[in-house]
Amino acid sequence: MYFLIGVLILIVFIICIVFYLKIKTRKLLNKVGFIGMNLSDIIKEAKIEDQNLPKSLSSMDSIYLTNIKRDFPDLNIDEIKSSAEKTILDIYNSIEKKNSFGLKGKLKSFADDIINDYKYKNVSFDNFKFHNTVISNYSNDRGIATITIGSSYEYLLNTDGKSVKTQDRSKVDFIYIVDVDKVPDNVKSYGISCPNCGSPIKNLGNKSCSYCGSAIKEIFGRVFTCNNIVRY
């Protein structure tokens, strides 16, 4: 008898909890404007919001700018940021033309991969607009200084006549070989490209690029060189 009463009380309790959660959920959906919408409508609404909301960036300017100025007092960080934006634009222009000629090293590989994705489609990136460009990271050790610049941007992606507003972001690495002799042997072939011809530098200990003959210390001892780009 007591067992049945306990079961009945438990059932009533569960029903009350379910009813309460249903009311709370309905109020929440009403608050955010989803009341009366089915699942497909909610997903569609979320996609529209995602298309209009810029990708977030974590700015590290306040953390790393002091260190960058200490190590490179004559460096204009705004020029580096502008160079990052120009690099991104150059890459997307190359993708539109399906021709990565002029890009070097990892930048060329990045563009070629996307060109291959759109191999059988007409593609364009219209109304390109940058939202923000910031310092994402900075390191200076083992003979190599690296400044990573993050950019968030949007464009109208047109593929075979279909247009979709797209929010995107990328990180661009700029490197400066502070001292080739300090670069460990296990790092000397980590993927740096010659900024003069774009060919891979297989060993920073070499005196010159094996393809174009440019002196390694000279080409990496002048300015920060754009070395890599990734979307994230």
The dihedrals phi and psi of 27, each to the nearest 5 degrees, come to -65, -40
User: Residue 215's pLDDT is what?
Assistant: 74
Alpha-carbon radius of gyration of the chain: 26
Q: How far apart are CA 190 and CA 146, in angstroms?
A: 13
State the pTM of this model: 0.71
144 near 160, Cβ under 8 Å?
no
Full DSSP string of 130-178? EEEEEEEEEEEETTEEEEEEEEEEEEEEEETTEEEEEEEEEEEEEEEES
Average pLDDT, stretch 5-12?
A: 71
The torsion angle over the Cα atoms of residues 66, 71, 75 and 77, rounded to 10 degrees, is: -40
Spatial CA neighbour of 180 closest among 218, 229, 150: 218
184-212 tens-digit pLDDT: 665 555 556 776 777 777 666 666 777 88
Query: Could you report how far apart the first and last alpha carbons of the chain are, in Å?
Result: 62
Q: Which amino acid is at 171?
A: K
Question: How large a percentage of the chain has pLDDT more than 90?
Answer: 45
Q: Specify the residue for token string 């530098």.
A: 201
Q: Residue 90 has which token pair?
A: 């150059």
- Measured in whole angstroms, the distance separating CA 85 from the mean position of its chain's CA atoms is 12
Burial class (CB in 10 A: 0-12, 13-18, 19+), 206: middle
pLDDT at position 86 over 80: yes
228 near 172, Cβ under 8 Å?
yes
